[in-house]
Structure 1
């Protein structure tokens, strides 16, 4: 039994039964049109050498670097060896050189902490290093304008519908607008194509920026995840405060994937504005890169969230808030002045689509997130006055329901779930 001391409390129940498959386990093995010609590594080498800054020499250096990251002296399944940092992140030549010099000096089998010095190319806002979550990359160069051009390489066989649906998700919940330009686009733009897996750079690198949506990567959530990287977001399990929220079971992580679970330092990943988010689409699933697939590599310390890790359905409230604070709202953390800050409750913030009201977490509503969302008569109830008589809720099946309980000041509400 848990107790909560509140003046106003709301309870929202979300009953979903969706299976989860880590996108990293669905990595494409071969191009559609080259099924019998190339291995995954050979395909990726071809893709890599086509990117800006890469040639045969730098591609060879990249593969040597990733071999060190994978700790490839240990035997692993070659089909599971990732050629990508953290499984789906493509590094620039400059990032690779910085990390190659720095990150292995203080590493251990259990953990490697990436410092501000070693990741200066990735840091968030140099002028807000003590205030905003640094799971978003870089300096002004690495951030996009609010209108982002993109193209879809249909000749590669990429799932155009999945790409468009993923883009619409981000447009729906942020101030960003994506403009398709397939005919000889110029300047900075994202290009979606079907490559050897699901991957993206982190942040804007300049010019044509590839985002691979390969076989097995065609769900809207995975497309949103890769766009999140391109917008500058790192993985949630890399936060410096992650050990307060999750257990990382290092002994069950495949040796080549140990780098995927590195922690960033406080100067890189800053946590005072955006809390750790169990429901983030940027968080790994519980058995990502597991040696024993029947055991976890990540577990939530709070048992109530153990089925939440690794969702790939849509960006969470905090995923959207991260992007909106950086690209949209006129705060000390933003590069644009779209909305002035509002006095929002419960982690709400000025809605970039309507600056006069707050964007609220699910279950809350009103101009300042002080009200409960309305609910259907047959599912949930608003303004339940709690006294001494126990109130019992019986609900089964699938749905989304909202209850709002109120009581006098200085009275405990006890919640018991069965």
Structure 2
């Protein structure tokens, strides 16, 4: 028997009325958020921006503390102010006490709690589709940690201690295993794989990178631009209460604040990098860095490859998922991390005393390694015109320091030309144009000038290079490379395709007889 016409009309009118109410309410909410800067979510692409409306209820913008953790932080702050040493309860950057660690001999059980309260029946199907996508993003983030470490996850698996993912009013997590059913909120606006890996990183035992005691070598705070009442989110931990598991500070860590964290307005940065070249590197949420992954493996997986005879180079280490191969820093590959990471558009290059260029066309992720025998290498970054973001999404990354574990500095904005000198006789160049969305131009009609050589300031393993002038010291002549970029090419014969598929051209073109080792 069919539905009577009167009932059908009534149902249609009710549905229409619900729609009008739905759109009227939600448009009002969007306008309110747009005109209220304190409620603008994800303005900087991090959980800090998304959590701005609830930041007063969380520690360091996205952390839910246990009572013992809160007592430990208060105790440490009291000691800092009085100068009196008190008993330590735990250590930070990584929680080292076994009470906060997960037992990874068995998969960590997790489940989803997706009940969003009372829903209008007509929108149930739309909501269910959203929930499917929400769950898949979380699964993708867990799969990343699972593929890169020995930590395993089991959806609806057995066990008392477990992680519950739910859609709260922001993105937040506890730090380490807190016992029982601990929650991770992945609310509206947090549905990003990088943000989820960040929150899962907290649940595995990680605090924020910029709370490390050695941060002053890498960043400095702009106190005048930090919003009143949020200063406690920038407290630096002492050496006694911190544990970095022997790994260096990483400005490209997925656990690092962005440059605008807790700012009074989005036009001012609260965190500046000591080396200004790294200012667009901090705050990335594309995913965990090499150092992030290595920290998890040191914390949980050190017993997996005991007795391995692999001699991994450049900070690489035996892969806990396959002890017969090395896990290598980004940009490096080979059986022992001795060569450049394979890519369709990169290669090994030999520097000389003459200026050289390379040419690359495409919208891919590419890796080059520039080497010389014993000298250092000077690089001139002439122009970069990717989409200019506070934290680069498409970029040129240069690893010129001696520790290839750390993320190099990333450049995506059209600024004055930049010259650097490597700390050793090789440099890694990484181009990631996979998220390109911008335009620019470059005129290569005349040769680039040869810049004066900078002063080389010898220092510790991770010391950053600064200074200009004449070079001196050991190492002989400084070999030279010039890096330029033409960010976009449009095909006049296929204008529709060019709009749908933006192509980047990044040039490292050979100008004066570079040797190319394929």
What TM-score do the two structures reach when normalised by structure 2? Answer: 0.58
Distance in 1, Cα, partners of 2:207 & 2:354:
48
Number of the residue aligned with 1:130: none
2:311 aligns with one of 325, 343, 348: 343
Taking the aligned partners of 1:368 and 1:161, their CA distance within structure 2 comes to 34
Which residue in 2 is equivalent to 1:69? Answer: none
Tell me what 1:371 maps to: 339
Q: How far off is 1:342 after superposition?
A: 4.2
Describe the shift of the 1:117–1:171 C-alpha distance in structure 2 as closer, same or farther (beyond 3 A).
farther
Task: Indicate the larger mover: 149-158 or 243-252.
Answer: 149-158
2:69 aligned with 1:95: yes
Describe the shift of the 1:398–1:260 C-alpha distance in structure 2 as closer, same or farther (beyond 3 A).
farther
Separation in structure 1 between the aligned mates of residue 68 and residue 215 of structure 2, nearest angstrom: 27
Q: Distance between the aligned counterparts of 2:163 and 2:85, measured in 1?
A: 27
CA contact (8 A) 2:51 2:62 kept: no
Q: Which residue of 2 aligns with 1:207?
A: 180
For residues 79 and 244 of structure 2, the distance between their equivalents in structure 1, rounded to whole angstroms, comes to 26
Q: Would the alpha carbon gap of residues 240 and 381 (structure 1) be closer, same or farther in structure 2, given more than 3 Å must change? A: same
| TM-score, structure 1 normalization | 0.71
2:192 corresponds, among 205, 209, 219, to 219
Aligned partner of 1:136 in structure 2 is 94
Q: State whether residues 154 and 160 of structure 1, in contact with CA within 8 Å, keep that contact through their aligned partners in structure 2.
A: no
TM-superposed deviation, 1:80: 5.5
How many angstroms does 1:97 deviate by? 3.5
Residue among 255, 280, 288 paired with 1:307: 280
**1:227 CA displacement:** 0.5
In structure 1, C-alpha distance between the alignment counterparts of 2:245 and 2:179, rounded to whole Å: 30
Is the contact made by 2:316 and 2:337 (CA closer than 8 Å) also made in structure 1? yes
1:329–1:341 contact (8 Å) kept in structure 2: no
Determine the structure 1 residue equivalent to 2:356.
391
Task: Tell me the residue number matched to 1:145.
Answer: 103
Q: Where do 1:323-362 residues align within 5 Å?
A: 323-330=296-303, 340=308, 342-362=310-330
**1:126 is matched with which residue?**
none
Offset at residue 341 of structure 1 (A): 7.5
**Aligned with 1:255: secondary structure?**
coil
Q: Deviations over 1:272-307 (max 9, x none)?
A: 721111111100110010013211111112222211
Which residue number in structure 1 is paired with residue 236 of structure 2? 263
Q: Name the counterpart of 1:167.
A: 142
Q: Secondary structure at the match of 2:164?
A: strand
- Give the secondary-structure state (helix, strand or coil) at the position aligned to 1:155: coil
CA distance in 2, matches of 1:292, 1:106: 30
- 1:417 is matched with which residue? 381
Change in 2 beyond 3 A, CA 1:164/1:375: closer
Unaligned runs of at least 5 residues, structure 1: 1-18, 29-78, 124-133, 331-335
Please tell me whether the aligned partners of residues 238 and 262 of structure 1 are also in contact (alpha carbons under 8 angstroms): yes
- 8 Å Cα contact 1:329-1:339 kept in structure 2: no
Supply the RMSD in Å over aligned alpha carbons.
2.7
Equivalences, count = 324
Q: Deviations over 1:237-267 (max 9, x none)?
A: 0010001001111221112221111111112
Q: Is the 8 A contact 1:85 1:91 kept in 2?
A: yes
User: Are the equivalent residues in 2 in contact too, given 1:386–1:406 (CA < 8 A)?
Assistant: yes
**Displacement of 1:161:** 2.0
1:178 has 2:156 as partner: no
Which of 1 and 2 has higher RCO (CA within 8 Å, sep 6+)?
Answer: 1
Classify 1:192/1:288 alpha carbon distance in 2 versus 1 (closer, same or farther; 3 Å): same
Distance 1:288 1:314 in 2: 18
How far did residue 271 of structure 1 move? Answer: 4.5
The SS at the match of 1:256 is coil
Structure number with bigger Rg: 2
Tell me how far apart the structure 1 counterparts of residues 75 and 276 of structure 2 sit (CA, whole Å): 39
Which sits farther off after the overlay, 99-108 or 343-352? 99-108
| 1:85 pairs with one of 52, 55, 59 | 59
